[in-house]
Amino acid sequence: MNIKEEKIKVILQFLRQYKYDQTFQKLQEQSQIQLDPYSLELITQSIKNDDIKQLEQILNQYVDENTKQQCILKVLEQKYIKLLKLHNVQEAVQLLRNQMTKFCKDEDQKYQYASMIYLPELNVKQEQELIDEVMQLCYKQIGLIEPNRLVTILQQQQAKQILDCQFHNKLEKDYKIFQKHSCNFQLNIIKQKKNISFCLFSFNGQYKALVHGLSIYLYQFVNQIKEYQQKPRKISTGQTGVITSIVFSPCNKYLGTSSEDFTVFVYNIQTEKKYKLEGHNAIVQAFNFVLCDQQKKKQKNEYDIYTISKDGWLYEWNETERKGGLKIEEKLLNLHIHQQKELLLLTSQNKISLYQLYTKKQISQTSTIKNNQNSIVDKDFNFVLLFVSDTVSQLYLYSISELLLIKVFQPTSSTTTLSTQLDFGWLNSNLIAAANSSGQLLVWHIQKSSQPIQTYQVSEQQKEISCLKFHPTQNQLYVYQQKDVERQSSQQQSVSEDIRAQFLQQRHQFQRHPWGMQQILNFLQRIARQEQMSNNQSSMQEEDKGSSDEDM
């Protein structure tokens, strides 16, 4: 069959399917191309005449044995049902015994046909419907075009356009035959210079929280101006260690942070009530709000709080009261929950573990590549994304239900180093955004290539991106880069210079001792820590001065 003949047959098939009979006949006459081969006419005629022997002889010439049995059984089945509808049970049973059983694939199928005698309602198919079903079974072997071929071609073209589109994995509007799909959506990147460590939106987007130093800056969305207020509410956590995570409650009523000082700070946005959870003996890595189990007695607060620490303990709290603890494993990284599915997901440096939310019963666990640094989940709790820092930093996507590795997302080159800043978001949570050490923003689509679909140079002078977050309800990605800080004070510079001077004075004796290399490393670490502390302190002082304006 050449291309011209195939095209005409596709159109003829469409015309006949939608009852354009006159146009169908004219196109066959003018093109001198018949849609149906001679074999189809013979099969159709034998079905209409209810001639099973002739049908079997014809099918023997064109189709294999298995297809032949299925086709004949289809025809006999309708004859059997007609006899039952006419209450001619004796003749129906004879048909089943003498003819149908020869074509049944197993005893179960024979039993199903026998049990039809007792069914109150049986549907008899129209003659053309029966012919179409038989053709569906044998169309390839007798030289017919695939049923609904034109629709299939259009769907294939639609699928190709979806693959060509950067941001979609499905078209949201009806497919247009005469117009190629062009994606109107553009990722709206909102760049800001702020020295912050975390950015988080409430589930409905009403609040935006930024963490700077040991304080939270809370912005409320103003409907009248369609943007977040300029002057935030400054909330002091009272924590003394670096903040490790920030979480909103699902109802947007509570906000909290975990810290390296072994505590969790909780704040009621409506009443401004504050309290701390104290009891861990190691850095609190993460926490989350969980609606209280309805089967238990009423608690002080509608939410329990689950916290995990670096030494592997999971604690359950209600307000300041600790209700229980469970030793999970060492080196825990993050805690993710889904209230409706009642699932709890824990990630560590080399494992992913899935638990039942309230009973803490382990459902499944899988080992991962070592050096997991961070993890996030999509909003529907279908995927978990791990940031893995090995020889090359990569992103590993796992399905939560099976804990199976689906895909590995890579940076643009083996020399590019990703940072731990990453997020799921945008249309159906299909996009993954991550930053690299050169101030670039990389964007992947989870249904497409393992390479980024877009790369944006966001940060000036290749400064590192400190934080990024997708907005939960809008096509916006907030990206924060470090703000320039003032030079260290003379006193801070003096401390660093003193440490350097000590190192230079003692470097010769280090060479004469076996422990000299370790001492050198200790001095270098002291210098680095001092400079980091100085930079952080300067940054916090600078940021606090401007807390009343747009830059906090």
Per residue in 159-169, pLDDT (tens digit) is 677 666 666 65
Confidence grade of residue 513 (pLDDT, cut at 50, 70, 90):
low
Q: Is the pLDDT of residue 307 over 70?
A: yes
Does residue 290 register a pLDDT over 50? yes
Confidence band of 199 (pLDDT split at 50, 70, 90): very high
Higher pLDDT, 15 or 524: 15
pLDDT digits (tens, 9 = 90+) for 30-41: 988 877 777 778
Residue 175 has pLDDT above 70, yes or no: no
The closest of 174, 228, 182, 176 to 202, measured between CA atoms, is: 228
| Mean pLDDT of all residues in 54-78 | 89
Q: How confident is the model at residue 516 (pLDDT cuts 50, 70, 90)?
A: low
Q: Is the pLDDT of residue 526 over 70?
A: no
Cα dist from 93 to 76, 81, 87, 288, 434, whole Å: 12, 11, 11, 66, 69
Residue 266 pLDDT class (50, 70, 90 cuts): very high
| Predicted local distance difference test score (pLDDT) of residue 499 | 53
Question: Residue 396 has what pLDDT?
Answer: 93
pLDDT confidence band for 548 (50 / 70 / 90): very low
| pLDDT band at 250; cut points 50, 70, 90 | very high
Using CB atoms within 10 A of its CB, is residue 202 exposed (0-12), middle (13-18) or buried (19+)?
A: buried
pLDDT for 545 equals 47
Q: Are 383 and 368 in contact (CB under 8 A)?
A: no
Q: Please state, as a whole number, how many other Cβ atoms lie within 10 Å of the Cβ of residue 43.
A: 24
pLDDT of 421 strictly over 60: yes
How far apart CA 183 and CA 309 sit, in angstroms, is 44
Bridge partners (DSSP) listed for residue 509? none
DSSP-assigned letter for residue 400? T
Mean pLDDT (the chain) is 82
- Reported as a pLDDT band with limits 50, 70 and 90, residue 420 is confident
Q: Kindly give the residue spans of alpha helices, DSSP state H, lying in 339-397.
A: none
Query: Looking at the predicted structure, is the pLDDT value of residue 539 above 80?
Result: no
**109 pLDDT above the threshold of 60:** yes
Report the alpha-carbon distance of residue 164 to residue 173 in Å, rounded: 16
Percent of the chain with pLDDT over 70: 80
**Residue 363: band (very low, low, confident or very high) from pLDDT cuts 50, 70, 90:** very high
Element (H, E) at 187: none
Per-residue model confidence (pLDDT) at position 423 = 92
Residue 479's nearest CA partner among 215, 194, 246 is 194
pLDDT of residue 466: 87
pLDDT at 504: 59
120 burial (CB, 10 Å; 0-12 / 13-18 / 19+) is: exposed
Going by pLDDT thresholds of 50, 70 and 90, the confidence category of residue 236 is very high
Flag the least confident range among 1-10, 148-157, 236-245, 469-478.
148-157
CA distance linking residue 282 with residue 310, whole number of Å: 6
Q: State the pLDDT at residue 194.
A: 86
The mean-pLDDT minimum among 269-273, 478-482, 536-540 falls in 536-540
Average pLDDT on 280-306 reads 85
Q: Which of 351-355, 390-394, 547-551 has the lowest mean pLDDT?
A: 547-551
The listed range with the strongest mean pLDDT (257-271, 387-401, 510-524) is 257-271
User: What is the Cα Rg of the chain in Å?
Assistant: 35
Three-state SS for 495? helix
pLDDT confidence bin for 296, thresholds 50/70/90: low
At residue 289, the pLDDT reads 95
Q: What per-residue confidence (pLDDT) applies to 297?
A: 60
Give the pLDDT band of residue 371 (cuts 50, 70, 90).
Answer: confident
Determine phi and psi for 548, rounding to 5 degrees. Answer: -95, -15
Contact 315, 307 (CB under 8 A): yes
415 against 321, higher pLDDT: 321
For residue 333, the Cα-to-chain-centroid distance in whole angstroms is 20
Share of the chain above pLDDT 90, in %: 35
Q: Which residues contact 413 (CB under 8 A, 6 or more apart)?
A: none
